[in-house]
Amino acid sequence: MGFHSFANTQLVLELGLNSSSNIPQNPSKLSSPTSDHHHHRHPSLTLALSGDSSSFSNASVKREREIASEESERVNTTSDDQEDEDGSVNGRKKLRLTKAQSGLLEEAFKLHTTLNPKQKQELARDLKLRPRQVEVWFQNRRARTKLKQTEVDCEYLKKCCETLKDENRRLRREVEELKASKTVYMPMPAATLTVCPSCEHVNPKTPFTIPPKPNFFNNPQLVNY
Residue 169 region by backbone torsions, left for phi larger than 0, else alpha for psi between -120 and 50, else beta? alpha
Closest CA to 132 of 117, 153, 146: 117
- Check binding of 154 to DNA (CB under 7 A): no
**Residues 6+ positions from 201 with CB-CB distance below 8 Å:** 195
- Check binding of 79 to DNA (CB under 7 A): no
- Check binding of 45 to DNA (CB under 7 A): yes
CB 71 within 8 A of CB 130: yes
- Check binding of 163 to DNA (CB under 7 A): no
Q: Which stretch binds DNA (CB under 7 A): 35-43, 152-160, 177-185, 217-225?
A: 35-43
Q: Which stretch binds DNA (CB under 7 A): 6-14, 29-37, 165-173, 190-198?
A: 29-37
Distance CA 195, CA 204 (A): 8
Binding residue (CB under 7 A) for DNA from 39, 158, 170, 172: 39
202 beta partners: 195
Nearer to DNA, 63 or 179 (CB): 63
Nearer to DNA, 89 or 184 (CB): 89
- Check binding of 137 to DNA (CB under 7 A): yes
Closest CA to 123 of 146, 139, 107: 107
State the nearest-atom distance from the C-beta of 43 to DNA, in Å. Answer: 6
- Check binding of 199 to DNA (CB under 7 A): no
- Check binding of 58 to DNA (CB under 7 A): yes
CB 95 within 8 A of CB 114: no
Per-residue binding string, DNA, 204-223, x by CB under 7 A, is --------------------
Distances (CA, A) of 91 to 48, 71, 140, 197: 6, 18, 21, 71
Query: How far is Cα of residue 66 from the mean position of the Cα atoms in its chain?
Result: 31
State the nearest-atom distance from the C-beta of 137 to DNA, in Å. Answer: 5
- Check binding of 146 to DNA (CB under 7 A): yes
Nearer to DNA, 8 or 215 (CB): 8
State the nearest-atom distance from the C-beta of 7 to DNA, in Å. Answer: 14
Closest CA to 18 of 142, 139, 153: 153
99-111 and 117-127 helices, crossing angle to 10°: 160
Give the binding site for DNA (CB under 7 A): 22, 30-32, 34-35, 38-39, 43, 45, 47-49, 55-65, 68-69, 86, 88, 91-97, 102, 114-117, 120, 132-133, 135-144, 146
